[in-house]
A and B are shown apart, each in its own frame.
Chain A
Amino acid sequence: DIQMTQSPSSLSASVGDRVTITCRASQNINNYLNWYQQKAGKAPSLLIYAASSLQSGVPSRFTGSGSGTDFTLTISSLQPEDVATYYCQQSSSIPDTFGQGTKLEIK
């Protein structure tokens, strides 16, 4: 199975800050990397697919980059509504695997 490693596991930042979360795959997954946002008590929702494509309806302050084994999710200007846990997921091969999550809080 492909292992996904996210960092950091938690993050506290101020409103307006630029925030970066990284995700590393244990082997080449090309661009089969997706990012999800999960707010407390809710289901996950898709933010970024195919490493860098923004899902419809997602604010443009979210961007994704990377290919191969190393990927990043960036929030250009943190907003209060961005408080959530963020997960990366590889869809290159079954079983799909997720990173352990990054819990983002407002400082």
Chain B
Amino acid sequence: EVQLLESGGDSVQPGGSLRVSCAASGFTFSSYPMSWVRQAPGKGLEWVSAISGSGGSTYYADSVKGRFTISRDNSKNTLYLQMNSLRAEDTAVYYCARRVLSTGRTFDIWGQGTMVTVSS
């Protein structure tokens, strides 16, 4: 079964750091670009970051550029998001999602999400 499972969400203070992870199974992980999408409580979906299958190309939303770093370990089938200098507005459920290029670059598989709360 194709599956994504996030972990690492926690409550942190403003200015703090956190790394969330996404473990993939059931497909050839290295063949797919991946993204992080977040959803603040009661709000809509916001794309955060993307990474190519090899990990050689990365992309960020302006709201997180310079603070967040996306990476992947294809030997461990795991995607990461390192979040530094966290702000209250980063509070959200963070989803990882698989990107499929052959179907118009859709996000066809999503994880269940992990909650990050930034509060003093």
Interface residues of A (CB under 8 A from B): 31-34, 36, 38, 42-46, 49-51, 53, 55, 87, 89, 91, 94-101
Contacts and interface: CB of A to CB of B under 8 A. Distances in A.
Given A94-B59, A97-B47, A45 B105 contact: no
Contacts of B47: 95-98
Interface string B92-120: 00010000000111111011110000000
Most chain A beta carbons < 10 A, residue from B35, B106, B108, B113 = B106
B88 interface: no
Q: Which 8 A-B pairs have the closest CB atoms?
A: A91-B105, A50-B104, A43-B110, A96-B47, A49-B106, A98-B45, A49-B103, A101-B44
Chain B contact residues: helix, strand, loop or mixed:
strand
A98 B46 contact: yes
Interface of B: 35, 37, 44-47, 50, 59, 61-62, 95, 103-108, 110-113
A98 B107 CA distance: 12
Contacts, number: 61
B106 A43 contact: no
A53 B103 contact: yes
Nearest to A43: B110
Contact of A32 (B46, B105, B110): B105
Nearest to A44: B110
Nearest to B60: A95
Contacts of B62: 95
Contacts of B111: 43
Nearest to B59: A94
Given A36-B107, A50-B103, A89-B107, 20 more contacts: A32-B105, A34-B104, A43-B112, A44-B37, A44-B110, A46-B106, A46-B108, A49-B104, A49-B106, A50-B104, A51-B104, A53-B104, A55-B108, A87-B44, A94-B59, A95-B62, A96-B35, A96-B50, A98-B44, A100-B44
